[in-house]
Amino acid sequence: MKRLLILLLLLGNLLYLAGCSGCSRSGSHQPRRSKRNSTAQTEQPPAKTPVDRQPVLTKMGSGPTEVAMKKENGVYTVPVTVNGTRMKFILDTGASLISISATEAEFMMKQGTITDDDVVGQARFQNANGDISPGAIIRLKSVQIGNRVLENVNANVVSTAKAPLLLGQSALSQFGKISVDYRRNIVTFD
């Protein structure tokens, strides 16, 4: 039932976005902020999945971890493993959440790496152009970057099929320090 609701939501969002001019070149998706309370405008999550569960950073090794980045089409991507699925994310310090498209979310649901229980709410997101897009907020069980693993990380699922994978602040802010070495094409997470 919940899966059907998600699919209907995604279909409705695609129809809503038919007139949308698309995402900005940077692809930055940020939760829409209210002028009163500056939080994402989300619907109430299901009672069985608490929204306030904080991400947890676990180290699989000691010291900083270096991750190779690759320049593709003018942006830098880094390898990230989400719930056991390897993907290439754009390193986007301007995005407030990890962002994946409906296509990736559907693939992960078919693989069983995302379930109905991982959906924690709905929100409307504003991209760098100011365009508003509806989407779902999901909880990712694990996000592995190099030898570091984050658990219980919120991400948004953008309704557009061509939305880029963005590694945003819901993951990046869990590290004490992040530095980019453009000469060696390395990102260091500390």
Count of domains in the chain?
A: 1
pLDDT tens string 75-91? 999 999 999 999 999 99
DSSP string, 54-111: PPEEEESSSS-EEEE-EEETTEEEEEEEETTEEEEEEE-TT-SSEEEEHHHHHHHHHH
pTM: 0.69
Structural domain of 69 = 2-189
What CATH number does the domain containing 114 carry?
Answer: 2.40.70.10
pLDDT tens string 103-139? 999 999 999 999 999 999 988 877 667 778 788 999 9
β-bridge partners, 76: 71
Q: Side-chain half-sphere of 10: how many Cα atoms within 13 Å? A: 21
